[in-house]
Chain A
Amino acid sequence: MDTQRIHWKSDSLTRIPYSIYNDVEIAEQEKLDIFHGKTWNFLCLEADLQDAGDYRTTHVGETPVVVVKDQDQQIYAFENRCAHRGALIALEKSGKDASFQCVYHAWSYNRQGDLTGVAFAKGVKGQGGMPASFCKEEHGPRKLRVSVFCGLVFGTFSEETPDIEIYLGPEICARIQRVLHKPIQVIGRFTQALPNNWKLYVENVKDSYHASLLHMFFTTFKLNRLSQKGGVIVDPTGGHHVSYSIVENDSADNSYKDQAIRADNDQYLLKDRSLLAGFKEYDDGITLQILSMFPGFVLQQIQNCLAVRQVLPKGVGRTELNWTYFGYADDTPEQRKTRLKQSNLIGPAGFISMEDGAVGGFVQRGIQGAQDHEAVVEMGGDHTGSSEGRATETSVRGFWKAYRSHMKI
């Protein structure tokens, strides 16, 4: 029996039924087929887990997860759900512990997520206790497979998910390695609550078409114009993408002074031009690289401003966006300061990103009552291939290609 409520009218990826963004059954199916399916989900940075016992709690989709480093220096991840009654095992966002114990009935777990202790298992004064047949090895929270790639820690609930480098493909791997080529240091964490379905944010990240139209700050300061050299890479699955640009005439001298002169010629002048002053740190001259990985991970380099973003659904109409800003461990104080100042560009109050916090909500509100209608995603044609120009929605179509493949719809 076909119980599917969402129907694409064709195989074409140029039309998106609006109901995909607010249908409760779709959200339930996504939990299984996307987040617990054959996908790698970002858990944390390796830099977050320095020593044995260091842990962080996070989510895969809406499923709570603990990620922890054990004595063997390996990173393990398991569902943050006690095998007894289902309560959260770890309550803090991060910490350091020899083991974990559920507060409800004190069932305990080692750092690999194995159930190691059941309180009063043998009863009290000969009364009660667990039956002799109860086998701890048969109980425990579900474990995730963990992969660490370039200091990024990913987890998957599926045994069938291909190895991370296969999952990403060589082009995307190379673009991650380009940024994460040496040890990093976290400089801040911020969470933005988005009033929209998670997919609207992921599409927004992949949509290079909107950048210079919605984000006027970009255009005003020549940070990113579609006329600049750049392009979009979409991997063969469609799910991962890289959008990049190179500011022309930027290679000769990327110093403070040079940046200031270019701002000088603009109509709108910054009074403190040090905001846009950067330093060249990548030989390829790429000044902006936005990389997304299916389903909900983003790595960004905007000039010298580096961050990862984790996209987590919180029900059908809300999304949590976790920003982690970082620099390199060997940054000079001046380089670190530059990153801190450029971080004004990004995040919930970012000069070039604040609009993204609201625009998904505009869609979510706009499509109420438009269940039978569709979005048009036809910029640059109907393909999902890589593209030289950025006036294209190829990577948005790529997302839907991957999404429909996982969801079998």
Chain B
Amino acid sequence: MIDLMTLCAFNAAYAMTIDSDALEEWPEYFSEDTHYRITHIENENENLPAGIVYADSRNMLIDRIAALRLANIYERQRYRHILGIPAIVQQNSEATYAHTPFMVARIMATGQTDVFATGFYKDKFVKSDAPASKANSFGIVLKERIAVCDSTVTDTLLALPL
């Protein structure tokens, strides 16, 4: 069983990792065979499987960060994640399923700050035997994280992960 405080601490560290631009550490929160996807509520309700980001391995997440650092061009920007308390929807000896609401502000280099995304993480957490990494010392990893945005619209572009 994974307790609520562990989930909260995990999510807090996850958010700080992205918001402090330690993006290289972001994949450490995921299992090797993870599924990570960013979509929105309408696709989710209609069972449309595509995402604006779609990964079925941790390596794909590492690649995405590498692309952001080396290949992609976008204006300097930061996020501020505000995460709610995880609602544990199902739990067994194998995995813990939780929904956690998020609100993400995007701060552009110009100073413009907007609510960029709201929604919830649809998560499947599993225990991990892997040694604690710099970012993730919680003994759990995300086997699945689907960031379900409330709005169908993405403003301008999405570079940094949610």
Q: Which residues of A contact B (CB under 8 A)?
A: 93, 186-195, 214, 216-217, 220, 268, 270-272, 274-275, 320, 325, 336-337, 340-341, 343-344, 347-351, 354-355, 357-358, 361
Contacts and interface: CB of A to CB of B under 8 A. Distances in A.
B24 to A, nearest CB: 13
A192 B153 contact: yes
9 contacts: A189-B42, A270-B59, A271-B62, A275-B60, A340-B49, A344-B64, A349-B38, A349-B158, A358-B156
A96 B71 CA distance: 44
B74 A354 contact: yes
B54 A192 contact: no
Interface string B147-162: 0000011111111000
Nearest to A360: B156
Given A187-B49, A188-B39, A340-B50, A349 B157 contact: yes
Contacts of B49: 187-188, 336, 340
B66 interface: yes
B152 A191 contact: yes
A271 B54 contact: no
Interface string B73-90: 111000000000000000
A185 B112 CA distance: 39
Nearest to A348: B154
A186 B43 CA distance: 10
B51 interface: yes
| Interface bin, chain B | 35 or more
B52 interface: yes
B70 interface: yes
A195 B56 contact: no
Nearest to A347: B52
B1 interface: no
Interface of B: 38-40, 42-43, 48-57, 59-60, 62-64, 66-67, 70-75, 152-159
Contacts of B70: 216, 220, 268
A340 B55 CA distance: 9
Nearest to A354: B157
A193 to B, nearest CB: 5
Contact of A351 (B55, B67, B156): B67
Contacts of A186: 48
B25 to A, nearest CB: 15
Contact of A272 (B53, B57, B155, B159): B57
Contacts of B158: 348-349, 354
B67 to A, nearest CB: 5
Contact of A193 (B51, B64, B75, B156): B156
Contacts of B54: 340-341, 343-344
Given A191-B153, A349-B154, 7 more contacts: A186-B48, A190-B50, A190-B52, A190-B154, A270-B59, A270-B63, A271-B60
Contacts of A191: 152-154
A189 B50 CA distance: 8
A343 B59 contact: no
Contacts of A192: 153-157
A38 to B, nearest CB: 31
A348 B57 contact: no
A94 to B, nearest CB: 9
B111 to A, nearest CB: 14
B51 A188 contact: yes
Nearest to A268: B70
Contacts of B66: 268, 270-271
B155 A275 contact: no
Contacts of A340: 49-51, 54
A92 to B, nearest CB: 11
B152 A190 contact: yes
Nearest to A359: B73
A217 B154 CA distance: 21
A195 B156 contact: yes
A354 B159 contact: yes
A348 B156 CA distance: 7
A361 B40 CA distance: 24
